[in-house]
Amino acid sequence: MTDPDDRTPAGLQPWQATVAPIAIAMLGMLGPFSIDTPYPSFAHLQTEFAVDATVTQQLVSSYLLAFAAMSIFHGPISDAVGRRPVMLVSLLAYSVASIAAIFAPSIGVLIFCRVLQGLSAGGGVIISRTMIRDLYHGADAQRLMSRVMMIFGLAPALAPIIGGWLATVGSWRLIFGFLGGLGLLLVGVVIVALPESHPVERRTPLSIRALLGSMAGVVRTARFHRVTWAGAFLFGAYFLYIGSAAIVVVDLLGQGETDFWKLFLPMIAGFMAGAFVSGRTAGRLSRNRGVAIGIAIQLGAAALGVVLMLAPALRTLPWAVIAPAILGFGVSLAFPPIQLAVVDMFPKARGAATSIAAFLTLALNALTAGLLAPVITSSLLAMAIAVLGFTILGALFWVWHLRVDHQVDRQ
């Protein structure tokens, strides 16, 4: 019998089937690299431009808000013109924005360049997720999504380490040069490794009316919102630590610019372990059961985090990273099947569904990084309580989704 993992999807050469998961994961890694690589340079930026941590935190929220705003359009446009053109144009624009940031004379100009980065980065990050469902089906799709998340999970661990090294040997400008080079590298990856996965006969008309119509069809679906917000809050709980890392590592844990790995490494280890388990159980465990197990683990981790941070003596390493590590395991079990559930609702508008789901998730993350992070990072206990709150909200949305689906099935 042939292992499902060994089947070559239609449209892929055997060698492309081997490298496609790596290529798609590399495209997905652009997001966390864009967020996490500049973190170690925040202290230098505050000194050079005479600003405080609240201002440099906007380098995160401005990028995320722009990413979220443009993410609405990447998917629908790719439904009309194909996946590759959208990815290639977006990656080239991202590279130009990154290189422009090298020459920023003020924090305002640098924030503007971050906005341009955010507007363009989603072309690779979001469309690569859509390609998974274009090429793979059922359990195979979950296996690939899990493999991609395992590789993708390395990015938040590697990015601040690379950023810290670049900030040490050069300056924050070198970091943006690195990001520009990464964008150009990904252009080459798309050209060489990824074929067009959305053939002409499946495309929607390229018109404002058609694009808005496909988006409206997604937005009007109540089931889409229940599932999407479940995933958004569950991942948002994990992202609270990522989006606040500059404050958590330096201010709350008292570490240096090269010590971000002390937070990220345990988190990513848990995340990758969960993604591995998700891939191994694909086809053996139902989608709903897999999500339920992931949510249960995440709830337990979030509650453990609050309990540990109630003791002032434990608000330090290694105690402060135990709950985030387990949280990463839970979210990477639940998130891949939730993403696939969203895309499967709209087989004729996968790009639109992926885009709008990404927009809602990113908008939540951007507001978290820009507005909530400065408030909840007053202490590690406040962080833990916020993480528990987000996890509970995600669980409630998922339970709501299951109850409504059960009622519909009974009718």
Q: For residues 317 and 253, what is the distance between their CA atoms, to the nearest angstrom?
A: 7
The crossing angle, in degrees rounded to 10, of helices 380-410 and 222-243 is 160
Q: For residues 38 and 36, what is the distance between their CA atoms, to the nearest angstrom?
A: 6
Superfamily of domain 8-410: MFS general substrate transporter like domains (1.20.1250.20)
Q: For residues 198 and 175, what is the distance between their CA atoms, to the nearest angstrom?
A: 35
The helix/strand/coil state of 282 is: strand
The helix/strand/coil state of 337 is: helix
Q: For residues 205 and 31, what is the distance between their CA atoms, to the nearest angstrom?
A: 29
366 sits in which H/E element = helix 350-367
- Determine the distance from the C-alpha atom of residue 138 to the mean position of all C-alpha atoms in its chain, rounded to a whole number: 22
CA 113 → CA 86, 180, 234, distances in Å? 20, 12, 30
What are the residues whose beta carbons fall under 8 Å from the beta carbon of 145, sequence distance 6 or more?
132, 278, 336, 339, 340
Contact at 8 Å (CB) between 36 and 265? no
Contact at 8 Å (CB) between 244 and 369? yes
pLDDT in tens, the chain (411 residues): 333 344 445 555 666 667 777 788 788 888 878 888 888 888 888 889 988 877 887 888 788 888 878 888 887 888 888 888 889 999 999 999 999 999 999 999 999 999 999 999 888 877 877 787 777 766 677 677 777 777 766 777 688 788 888 888 888 899 999 999 999 999 998 888 888 877 777 777 777 777 777 778 888 888 899 999 999 999 889 888 877 777 888 888 888 767 877 888 888 889 888 888 877 777 777 778 889 999 999 999 999 999 999 999 898 888 999 999 999 999 988 887 888 788 778 877 777 787 888 888 877 877 776 777 777 878 899 989 999 999 999 999 999 999 887 777 665
227 sits in which H/E element = helix 222-243
